Amino acid sequence: MAKKFPMHPKHPERVCWGCDQYCAMDAMKCGNGSDRTMHPIELLGDDWASVGDWGFDDAGSAREQAAAANPSMA
């Protein structure tokens, strides 16, 4: 079973998001390469979940969480 993907992690820059292990950026276990995979919030901003189809079970909830995190985008 896959871990629940965090919508708004406190420090996304400290973790590799490339697989379900969520390793520290300096201790990647999966051998995913020398660079970590960035969290979508780092690439697309706080409202990342409201844009596109991310395949979450409850996409409406993801949009609500994004709007709650950044009220100016609602």
Residue 17 lies in a domain: yes
- Percent of the chain that is helix, strand, coil (3-state, to 5): 35, 5, 65
pLDDT value at position 28?
81
Give the containing element (helix H, strand E) for 69: helix 59-69
Residue 3 lies in a domain: no
Range of the structural domain that residue 46 is part of: 12-73
pLDDT value at position 33?
62
Total structural domains within the chain: 1
pLDDT value at position 74?
47
Which regions in the chain score pLDDT beneath 50?
A: 59, 73-74
The partner residues of 24 in beta bridges, in order of sequence, read: 15
pLDDT value at position 68?
60
Q: pTM of this prediction?
A: 0.64
pLDDT value at position 21?
85
Residue 6 lies in a domain: no
Task: Using the CB atoms, write b or e for 23-57: b if 16+ within 10 Å.
Answer: beeeebeeeeeeebeebbbeeeeebbbbeeeeeee
